[in-house]
């Protein structure tokens, strides 16, 4: 198990390194680094000094090492717009995004699992067919359009839920959270549902396929032959088996959810990392872009690692192979 973990950690570090090279090349080789890293308001002397102090006169590979060294110390440059370290800007807004992404994941499971379960248990009923048709829509509709419709219906027409911002927040452990107040929670509902739409469809499909497969297995029939109640058969025997693929995919999708929150945050004016990166791209605040990309890559790698480990814990078969 430790060997396995170690190997996975080394792999993860390799991916981060590769991506850092990619981002570096993106910024330094494709774009003009002077334009990217030095404020456009700077005069000629400042530029000269900045070029030297940033080491832009060095060969590319040396520059990369410098970039890497600074990145390791958490220095990813300063934002032109906010004049703050880019990394701190990102980290400041990360809780809002994480909160939203977790909310969306929870919504996907709360909504998707029961619907998928129903569709899997009664595949021929009209309701199941409606659920499946809905899940196809969930896959093909653009997120931003659904977000707009949510605002139009629930915020503008019905006036039930607020459509912008985080609402009231409570500070816990030095971080502000929305979900702890009613007002904040109500601000979270629409964006969370919007963000979870794709995931809901995914969970429905996975659950349905898993249930249909499991229901045909001998172990389900044997469980019934033991005289267990239908609830126990479905919620213990079937459920535990479909949980593995669902958890894996939902976990792996978490990174995608954070990435897609870019769209949702823009629509609902949710003050997270996604909104920050869009604003930064629009004003060409490149250090923030670089910092965002590095943070996202790191998150992706960490999520993959966590999912792998969770998977190992959930499935006894994998667990023991790892031990052997």
Partner 1 sequence: MTPTLEVRNLRTHFFTRAGVVKAVDDVSFAVERGRVLGLVGESGSGKTVTGFSIIGLVDPPGRIAGGRILFQGTDLTTLSEEAMRDLRGNRIAMIFQDPMMTLNPVLRIDTQMVETVLAHRRTTREEARRIARDALGQVGIPSPEERLHAYPHQFSGGMRQRVAIAIALLHKPDLIIADEPTTALDVTIQGQILAEAQKLCAESGTAMIWITHDLSVVAGLADDIAVMYAGRVVEQGPVDEVLDAPLHPYTLGLIGSVPSRNRRGAPLRQIPGMTPSLLNLPEGCAFRARCPRATDACAAVQPMITEHRPGRFARCIHPHLEAAEAA
Partner 2 sequence: MSSTTLGAAPVPAVPPKIETPFHRFVAEFAASPIAVGALVVFAIIALVAILAPWIAPQNPYDLAVLDIMDGRLEPGSVGGTGITHWLGTDDQGRDMLSGIMYGLRISLTVGAGSALIACLVGASLGMLAAYAGGRTDSAIMRLVDLQLSFPAILAALMILAFLGKGILNVVIAIVVVEWAYYARTVRGSALVERRREYIEAAQCLALPTHRVIFRHLLPNCLPPLIVVGTMQIARAIALEATLSFLGLGVPITEPSLGLLIANGYEYMLSGKYWISFYPGIALLVTIVSINLVGDQLRDVLNPRLKK
Which positions lie near partner 2, rule CB under 8 A? 18, 23, 26-27, 30-31, 136-137, 139-145, 148-149, 151-152, 155-156, 163, 255-256, 259-260, 262-263, 266-267, 277-278, 281-282, 286, 289, 293, 296, 300
Based on the shown chain and the rule CB under 8 A, indicate whether residue 218 belongs to the binding site for partner 1: yes
Q: What sign results for the dihedral spanned by CA atoms 302, 303, 308, 314?
A: positive
| 129 touches partner 1 (CB under 8 A) | no
Residue 53 region, left (φ>0) first, then alpha (ψ -120 to 50), else beta?
A: alpha
Among partner 1, partner 2, none, the one that 249 touches (CB under a kind-dependent 5 to 8 A) is none
- Cβ contact 119:204 at 8 Å: yes
Among residues 42, 50, 81, 228, the one that binds partner 1 under rule CB under 8 A: 228
CB of 7 to partner 1, least distance (A): 23
Query: Does the protein bind partner 1 through residue 223 (CB under 8 A)?
Result: yes
From 167-175, 189-197, 231-239, 250-258, give the range in contact with partner 1 by CB under 8 A.
Answer: 231-239
Is 241 an interacting residue with respect to partner 1 (CB under 8 A)?
yes
Q: Which of 71, 95, 113, 140 is nearest to 243 (CA)?
A: 113
- Closer residue to partner 2 (CB): 115 or 195: 195
- Assign residue 168 a region (left: φ > 0; alpha: ψ between -120 and 50; beta: otherwise): beta
240 binds, among partner 2, partner 1, none (CB under 5 to 8 A by kind): partner 1
Closest approach of partner 2 to the CB of residue 290, in Å: 9
Note whether 219 binds partner 1 by CB under 8 A: yes
Q: Of 29, 59, 225, 231, which lies in the binding site for partner 1, with binding defined by CB under 8 A?
A: 225
Choose from partner 2, partner 1, none: what does 143 bind? Cβ within 5-8 Å by kind: partner 2
Give the 3-state secondary structure of residue 319: helix
The C-alpha atoms of residue 320 and residue 318 are separated, in whole angstroms, by 5
- Phi, psi angle pair for 18, to nearest 5°: -60, -45
- Among partner 2, partner 1, none, residue 221 binds (CB under 5-8 Å by kind): partner 1
Minimum Å distance from CB 45 to partner 2?
Answer: 28
Residue 10 CA to residue 299 CA, distance in Å, equals 15
Kindly state whether residue 15 participates in binding partner 1, applying the rule CB under 8 A: no
Query: What is the phi-psi region of residue 222: left when phi exceeds 0, alpha when psi lies from -120 to 50, beta otherwise?
Result: alpha
> In whole angstroms, what is the distance from residue 54 CA to residue 69 CA?
13
Among 142, 159, 174, 316, binds partner 1 (CB under 8 A): 316
Distance of alpha carbon 207 from alpha carbon 113, whole angstroms: 6
Residue 51, classified by CB atoms within 10 Å of its CB into exposed (0-12), middle (13-18) or buried (19+), is middle
Site residues (vs partner 1, CB under 8 A) = 217-219, 221-229, 232, 236-237, 240-241, 244, 314-317, 320
């Amino acid at each position: 198990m430790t060997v396995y973990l170690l190997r996975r950690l080394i792999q993860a570090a390799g991916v981060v390194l590769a991506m850092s090279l990619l981002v570096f090349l993106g910024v330094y080789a494709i774009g003009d680094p002077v334009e990217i890293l030095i404020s456009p308001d700077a005069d000629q002397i400042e530029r000269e000094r900045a070029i030297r102090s940033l080491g832009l006169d060095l060969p590319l590979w040396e520059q990369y090492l410098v970039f890497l060294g600074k990145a390791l110390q958490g220095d990813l440059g300063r934002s032109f717009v906010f004049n703050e370290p880019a990394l701190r800007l990102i980290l400041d807004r990360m809780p809002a995004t994480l909160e939203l992404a977790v909310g969306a994941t929870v919504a996907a499971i709360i909504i998707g699992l029961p619907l998928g379960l129903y569709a899997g248990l009664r595949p021929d009923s009209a309701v199941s067919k409606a659920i499946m048709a809905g899940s196809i829509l969930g896959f093909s509709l653009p997120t931003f359009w659904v977000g707009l419709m949510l605002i139009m219906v629930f915020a503008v027409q019905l006036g039930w839920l607020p459509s912008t911002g985080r609402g009231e927040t409570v500070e816990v452990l030095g971080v502000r959270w929305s979900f702890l107040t009613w007002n904040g929670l109500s601000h979270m509902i629409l964006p969370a549902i919007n963000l979870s739409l794709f995931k809901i469809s995914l969970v429905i499909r996975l659950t349905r396929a898993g249930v249909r497969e499991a229901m045909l297995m001998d172990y389900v029939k044997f469980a019934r032959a033991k005289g267990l109640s239908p609830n126990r058969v479905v919620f213990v025997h079937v459920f535990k088996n479909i949980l593995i693929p669902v958890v894996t995919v939902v976990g792996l999708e978490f990174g995608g959810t954070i990435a897609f929150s870019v769209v949702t945050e823009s629509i609902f004016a949710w003050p997270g990392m996604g909104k920050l990166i869009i604003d930064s791209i629009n004003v060409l605040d490149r250090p923030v872009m670089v910092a965002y990309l590095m943070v996202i890559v790191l998150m992706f790698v960490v999520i993959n690692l966590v999912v792998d480990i969770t998977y190992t814990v959930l499935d006894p078969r994998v667990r023991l192979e790892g031990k052997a």
